Amino acid sequence: MTNSKNITVIPATINPLTRLPKTAIQLRRVAAHARVSTDSEEQLTSYEAQVDYYTRYIHNKPDWQFVDVYTDEGISATNTKKREAFNRMVADALDGKIDLIVTKSVSRFARNTVDSLTTVRKLKDAGVEVYYEKENIWTLDSKGELLITIMSSLAQEESQSISENVTWGQRKRFADGKVSIPYGHFLGYRKGANGIPEIVPEEAEIVRTIYRMCIEGQSTNAIARQLTQQGIPTPAKKTVWQKATVESILRNEKYKGAALLQKSFTVDFLQKKMKVNEGEVPQYYVEHSHEAIIKPAEWDKVQLELARRKNSSRYTVCNSPFAGKIICGDCGEIYGSKVWHSTSKYRRTIWRCNAKYGSGDLCRTPHLYEDDLKRYFITALSQLLTDRTALLEDGRLILNDLLDTATLDADSNRTLQEMDVVAGMIRQMVNENANQATDQVAYADRYNSLVERYEKLQAEYDALLQQKERRQIQAEAIGNCLTALEELDLLEITFTDALWNTIVDHVMLYADSRLMFHFKNGAEKIVQM
């Protein structure tokens, strides 16, 4: 007869997660996490209450040892990248300084399911437990991870729903034409009655000065440098102006009393990633939304000037009005400024071909002193104004011809209508393919053919618009030139940066010391050095 087995159970004495003896009496080092997602006074009161509550809550537990309350103010929980206190708490826990983390709820801890589970599992592997008070979930419990997955998913859905509601509300404001301005970083306006932007007179004068300097031909770099030297604070109240800040002021349509709404949008509610709106979502252009600082005609003039500079191969960011306007008659390279005797009393600025001492044949064109160039300019201008009446009449004829864009407009409208027809054919074809069985090879061939046709029409339409824009830029330059010539006092012609920038397109300097002045009205005058 076989003896029956005698089995004795030896109880576990070590906790597999904490690695501590089960019979050991040891205080658990406990920390709490508190967070509010906005900076409003009401939320901050809630935040202070959370800190006070968890401090007392941990101290009242005899088997708990208080470590700290880690707090994040005014930070969203949809991702953990910018939550400094949260990340510091996790790091301390992984370093063995914390055994238990107490938090109000799953949504307070994280509204991103992936972040929540990743963090909990990382802490769990280190033997650190998280307790969600509202849901009564202990993460080292066998059911903890399942409950966390469910609750985190619900919290993430709630966060997405809130984000969609906020986005809807914002777009409804856009559709209603309600303009909002970041007044803290915006020059010229403050929030007025009923939320309508109100002009700040002293700041508005700075904006007008920036526009005037641009029209006079000064580069954005030069404008920024001058504003900095004058001690004028930037829109963000800093002391140093940047080129980009000046350009953003020159391009912002709000200064002419209009507003383009939804220039950017949120791509991902979890990462809060913003993207420039390139047609993915609707935009809303509101005219006469508030009082203008810059007249619309002047704003348009600045946009044309910026477009001219962008399209000009000769435009430079140099502070001098001569930069990019003097061209070598030998090689076609532009002249650059050089300083001679920079450390002595004989210091002088000269202009010389940038390729004069480059590889290959040396340019034979001479250098120019700035004072001499100004004198040659006055001579050429005097020649130009010999018969001012005839000059202005010829200029107005050229201007009228440039402003007559009826043919271009007709071609643009015809191309646009043809594009609409092709787009309709594509939509109809796609719908038919979705609702009935078709030969997919034939469908793909026809579809690609229509798309190719549409893209060709789009290229033609863009070319027509560019041609019209070039004519507008040229007409604007000639119009300003004619106005300056008409208002000029023939008895007191003196050089100014504004006059030079307004009427001179460029100057060609040849090896025989001839200067050919090309004026913006199309006239040319030669001066011998």
76 shares its domain with 147: yes
361 and 493 part of one domain: yes
Q: How far apart are CA 142 and CA 131, in angstroms?
A: 13
**Total number of domains constituting the chain:** 3
Residue 177 lies in a domain: no
DSSP secondary structure letter of residue 254:
G
**Domain end (from 112, 133, 166):** 166
Sequence-ordered list of residues with C-beta below 8 angstroms from that of 201, at least 6 positions apart, any chain: none
Q: Which residues pair with 35 in a beta bridge?
A: 72
- CATH number (domain holding residue 359): 1.10.287
- 393 and 516 in a single domain? The answer is yes
Q: Are residues 223 and 287 in the same domain?
A: yes
Using only C-alpha atoms, what is the Rg of the chain? 36
Does 494 share its domain with 415?
yes
Residue 206 lies in a domain: yes
Q: ∠ CA(158), CA(163), CA(168), 5° rounding? A: 125
DSSP string over 32-66: EEEEESS--HHHHHHHHHHHHHHHHHHHT-TTEEE
Do 385 and 512 share a structural domain?
yes
Same domain, 441 and 519: yes
* Residue 55 domain flag: yes
Same domain, 129 and 227: no
Note whether residue 372 is domain-resident: yes
4, part of any domain: no
Question: How high is the pLDDT of residue 44?
Answer: 44
Q: Which of 106, 110, 111 is nearest to 136 (CA)?
A: 106
Give the least confident one: 42-51, 57-66, 191-200, 386-395: 42-51
How does the average pLDDT of the chain come out, rounded?
A: 79
- Residue at a domain's end among 311, 344, 379: 311
Q: 49 and 194, same structural domain? A: no
Greater pLDDT, 115 or 325: 325
pLDDT of residue 502: 85
pLDDT at 23 over 80: no
Q: What is the pLDDT of residues 223-232, one digit of tens each?
A: 898 899 899 9
CA dihedral 487, 493, 494, 497 (to 10 degrees): 40
| Assigned domain for 35 exists | yes
- Burial label, 441 (beta-carbon count in 10 A; 0-12, 13-18, 19+): exposed
Pick from 272, 197, 187: which is nearest to 232 by CA? 187
Give the CA-trace dihedral at 95, 97, 103, 106, to 10 degrees. 20
Q: What is the pLDDT of residues 172-211, one digit of tens each?
A: 554 555 666 777 788 888 888 777 788 899 999 999 999 9
pLDDT at 38 over 60: no
pLDDT score of 237: 87
Picking from 378, 396, 390, 386, the residue whose alpha carbon sits closest to that of residue 500 is: 378
Taking a C-beta distance cutoff of 8 angstroms, is the pair 202, 299 a contact? no
Q: Give the separation between CA 256 and CA 236, rounded to whole angstroms.
A: 21
How far apart (Å, rounded) are the C-alpha atoms in residues 352 and 501? Answer: 20
Mark whether 369 and 468 lie in a shared domain.
yes
**What one-character DSSP code corresponds to residue 77?**
S
φ, ψ dihedrals at 208, nearest 5°: -65, -35
CATH of the domain at 244: 3.90.1750.20
Run of H or E including 222? helix 220-229
No. of helices (H) and no. of strands (E), the chain: 14, 18
- For residue range 464-518, list pLDDT tens digits in order: 988 888 888 788 888 888 888 888 887 778 888 888 888 898 999 999 999 999 9
Residues 378 and 504 in one domain: yes
Determine the 3-state secondary structure of 434 from DSSP.
helix
44 vs 373, residue with greater confidence = 373
- Is residue 137 a contact partner of residue 144, using CB atoms and an 8 Å limit? yes
Query: Which has more pLDDT, 450 or 38?
Result: 450
**3-state SS, residue 448:** helix
62 — phi, psi (to 5°)?
A: -65, -25
Q: Does residue 411 sit in the same domain as residue 443?
A: yes
**Nearest partner of 20 among 177, 129, 144, judged by Cα:** 129
**6 within a domain of the structure (yes/no):** no
pLDDT at site 78: 45
Residue 31 has pLDDT above 90, yes or no: yes
Q: Which residue has the higher pLDDT, 155 or 305?
A: 305
Q: What is the pLDDT of residue 376?
A: 93
Question: Structural domain of residue 298, as residue ranges?
Answer: 183-311
Residue 103: inside a domain: yes
Which of the 8 DSSP states describes residue 14? B
The C-alpha atoms of residue 363 and residue 110 are separated, in whole angstroms, by: 69
Which of 141, 166, 191 is the last residue in one of the domains? 166
| pLDDT above 70: residue 143 | no
